[in-house]
Amino acid sequence: MKITYRKASSYNRAALLAADALRARLYVPGWMLNEELRDIRSGQNAEDYKTCIVVAYLGEVAIGICTSRKWRGYTDSTVMIFVRKKHRRCGIGTKLIKKATSKIKGSGSGGVDGADKFWDKVERKS
């Protein structure tokens, strides 16, 4: 099956993609991405953020997500990403980031085991 990517910058479409990601549990329980997706889905603070969300699908099953949010008045975005474990190391995360952002500013850190290596690789390419 082919992997497809759906992107939304409008808040209504972003809310639908966030709901898909929450249903598919594309987050680590207790981590910030869960709260971020709930916030996007609800539309809370919509006027305070510029939001972009991209979801990767294998068929109709959501397998990865990237959110990029910039608070009004700030220059840097907060980028969060999650890819199902069995689909990692296939370039999906890198493609999600490229589709959600034009360039990563600053440094990425944190996440599951191996995340620091991933962020190092993505930052070198941007």
The chain-wide mean pLDDT, for the chain, equals 82
Could you read off the pLDDT of 6-34 as tens digits, one per residue?
998 788 899 999 999 999 999 988 888 99
**Does residue 118 carry a pLDDT above 80?**
no
Smallest CA-to-CA distance from 119 within 101, 63, 27 is with: 101
Backbone angles phi and psi of 74, in degrees to 5:
-105, 155
Q: How many Å apart are CA 26 and CA 11, to the nearest integer?
A: 19
pLDDT for residue 103 is more than 60? no
| φ, ψ at 35 (rounded to 5°) | -65, -40
Number of domains, the chain: 1
* DSSP 8-class letter at 47: G
Residue 107 confidence (pLDDT): 44
DSSP code at position 122 = H
52 neighbors 15 (Cβ within 8 angstroms): no
Domain residues for the domain of 83 are 3-125
Looking up residue 61, the CATH number of its domain turns out to be: 3.40.630.30
Helix/strand/coil for 55? strand
How deeply is 123 buried, as exposed, middle or buried, from its count of CB atoms within 10 A (0-12, 13-18, 19+)? middle
User: Helix, strand, or coil here: 6?
Assistant: strand
Which pLDDT band holds residue 122 (cuts at 50, 70, 90)? low
Cα gap 78→69, rounded to integer Å: 5
In which band, very low, low, confident or very high, does the pLDDT at 53 lie, cut at 50, 70 and 90?
Answer: very high
Rounded to two decimals, what is the model's pTM? 0.79
Q: Is the pLDDT of residue 78 over 90?
A: no
Q: Identity (one letter) of the amino acid at 103?
A: K
